[in-house]
Chains A and B, each alone.
Chain A
């Protein structure tokens, strides 16, 4: 899928969770949202995008996608 759109969607989610003053909760919130609502193909793609530099991802989005990658590794 168009990675720019996925990056935009991830950043939009982060814009919401950025209001959370507890940074760890914000990261967990975004990662949980991606886990719950994104098709695995989209998650795989955004994780791969982070690994190849993560262009366009906000700071919170980078942390959250990293958290998502860690969580998925644990599950697998």
Chain B
């Protein structure tokens, strides 16, 4: 069922500026060239009856309801598949048309149940609407004949009847209500690009089937919900809709999962969320979504939510429920005590990419203004900090260069270290659509990710490199570009710094960087590298997309700079269709970085040592600010272990699960005297905390998120905070208690302050976002409506700066003791540490982290699918189950880190990127062996976890008055 709030004009809009004039029902109108007659009529307010047409899909012309008469044309053309033409004269209604439509509807209804009053779609059913629109008054055929509606016929089982499929946890498929309009099948193909659904059989036997007539859960279906949204009847319905009934109002907000930042309509009854429907006008997602954003929202009301503040003196004591006043006063007094005893620099804060811009801004403001130091960092430290460093150094701005729609103009996609179909599914669907339309694809990844070969998409080249050799392969690609004369000399001469370019050209031309010289290191044939380099360099528009497989390495920053070098050398930057595009892991990675949550820079990426910038903040904030960089997250751990860092305020970040070398992290947490955790749940870090401040989910607060394309979108409060305060209000309470006053009445006032202090955000405000839908920064006097593509005509830093990119192999090397390489990643149904998705029905797809092992490595170790295996590195050991998989190359194993008990990060090391300390999650030397019991760490973890759960107050207890 479509959104309750959206109008469907029947067929997609057309691009291009030309207009044509036609006459519909006697009225002349002018519409964009290329639109259908159906859409033209709808634009003028005339809704031609339709069933198989919807704006989200290309027209299909199967239902025969939308017939019209066109002067000079024979018969009754379908208005959905007929394009407008200059001077065309259309009649949308006549006695003849009415008779035809009624006849068609009569046939549909003769094979459809008549349970409208108790049907999920009642009142919002397109079949019901059309029966009304065409004036259907009787069904002459009766209902006793051959049908798909009734389980039994003539006392026998009806072979055409198919029972409900309730295998998917989020939606139900009820085939007896199907009118075989193919909208679901086409949505699965065109919108999602999975091709899981099909029409099976012919004629009256036609029916919708998932994969080979499997149940939905057993099929290839990825549960994106596009089919459910496309269905005009109740055949495919959300289970929440079945349970609650239809919503009465809706609010537009932004998804809190990945960096695509999909826009959704939250559909509600009162303050009860009925369903999330992707917003057709959403600039990042254009009405599409994935299983997480659309369905996995149950965590917001999960019983594990902690909704009262709690404190305790030591982590071995039971939590005590207290009032907000008591909790805030206690936290503030502890921070003050620590600063008095151990010095001003002994405390700090960590923000999260799950926070809104306003929340992140406020936490860094609290640290800088109330704590008086710069010990603030964000979880982008452990994911995309190299993107910030690398792109700022080369191009001049710490952000991706394009909008998502740019890919519509791309001819060759170079995808490295990213697995969009799992981690950025909605953008992956757009990418697949472009690839199906003819763009070529180069994949550089140690794993054979889905995009290497998936229905109607096949990569031209898959460079299946060894983990840790990104810089080597990028140098080899650049070497081919330089030595085969593929440089865009005119672009480089006009746009880039000459001395740096010449130095780079000489460096990269050295034979040590040739694909042949690096063949052994990469494990990829030199010829393949050469062909890939030529394909990218010769493309009219070549675009680079990358993810954490690039950044989370000891040379993450070098690799990002190598990507920027490649784009500059081939002139692939500064227009649509090209660019360097980081796919951000979490919803607000870009925003948390923009908001100055790194210890060395203020909002807008300006170093704390810059006197003029500092003065502007000092003036607005009314305090003197520290002019030296503070501690990064890993430095905080080190400082905690040496006794100089004692207190930490964490908002929305679970370092005890997400950061590498868990045992090192937890030792650091134990060494602190006051850990304040603000979160929805008792996460892993909260088990080491002394103050718990219950946070609010994205549904409970106002603010903005900034996605991977620098797009600032509104998060809107659809229900009141379960614990009483939005997160920015909690930070404000803490700041006031610390003696630094904050008096924001609304999150919009925080954004206004950000805009006053940050040149790239100068023109951004709640009002303007409400008006435009979303805004891509920079948004300033030159670009009052934002900037979809950056570096047009000139780089942000002026001239592009080529950086040298020496390949330095990681210290993490395989040896006899640890002969395999572990690399980590994500899967579609779970998200990051899983705090949200583990508390939803998404566990139906993935309820434990598995270790993927190549069949050869498995056989050598006697490992079979499903066996318990010990995974050990020099950092630690854990135990999980094995999945034997040829997606891996021999010598490389893979796992996810969605479940705390897996302890994937017990195994990862504290090796990190040279420039930013971003951890090297993607390369760990390990050994794998069959075992029959959990690791020592897991046994300790489980005992500790049990103990911490026992220390929680009984459910229902509260602080009483005060």
Contacts and interface: CB of A to CB of B under 8 A. Distances in A.
Interface of A: 1-2, 5, 9, 12-13, 15-16, 18-21, 33, 36-42
A5 B628 CA distance: 21
A16 B808 contact: yes
Interface residues of B, number: 33
Given A2-B642, A16-B914, A16-B915, A36 B806 contact: no
Interface in B608-639: 609, 628-632, 635, 638-639
A13 B913 CA distance: 9
Contacts of A33: 915
A15 B557 CA distance: 13
Nearest to A16: B914
Nearest to A1: B638
A1 B915 contact: no
Interface string B782-817: 000000000000000000000011101000000000
Interface string B548-564: 00000011011000000
A55 to B, nearest CB: 18
A41 B806 contact: no
Contacts, number: 63
Contacts of A19: 507, 804-806
Interface of B: 345, 375, 503, 507, 554-555, 557-558, 599-600, 607, 609, 628-632, 635, 638-639, 641-642, 644, 804-806, 808, 910, 912, 914-917
A54 B559 CA distance: 30
A13 B345 CA distance: 25
Contacts of A20: 804
Given A12-B914, A15-B808, A16-B808, A36 B600 contact: yes
Interface centre among A1, A15, A36, A42 (most CB of B within 10 A): A1
Contacts of B638: 1-2, 5
Given A1-B638, A2-B641, A36-B600, A13 B808 contact: no
Contact of B629 (A9, A16, A38): A38
Contact of B345 (A5, A12, A18, A41): A41
A1 B642 contact: yes
B343 to A, nearest CB: 10
A16 B644 CA distance: 30
Contacts of A21: 503
Q: Which 5 pairs between the two chains have the least Cβ-Cβ distance?
A: A19-B806, A12-B914, A1-B638, A19-B804, A15-B808
B806 A18 contact: yes
Given A2-B642, A39-B629, 9 more contacts: A1-B638, A1-B644, A12-B912, A16-B555, A16-B806, A19-B806, A20-B804, A38-B629, A40-B629
A41 B808 contact: no
A12 B628 contact: no
Contacts of A1: 635, 638-639, 641-642, 644
A16 B599 CA distance: 22
A40 B555 CA distance: 24
A5 B638 CA distance: 9
Nearest to A8: B811
A33 B600 CA distance: 11
A41 B644 contact: yes
A9 B916 CA distance: 10
A34 to B, nearest CB: 10
A5 B634 CA distance: 11
A16 B554 CA distance: 11
Contacts of A5: 638, 910
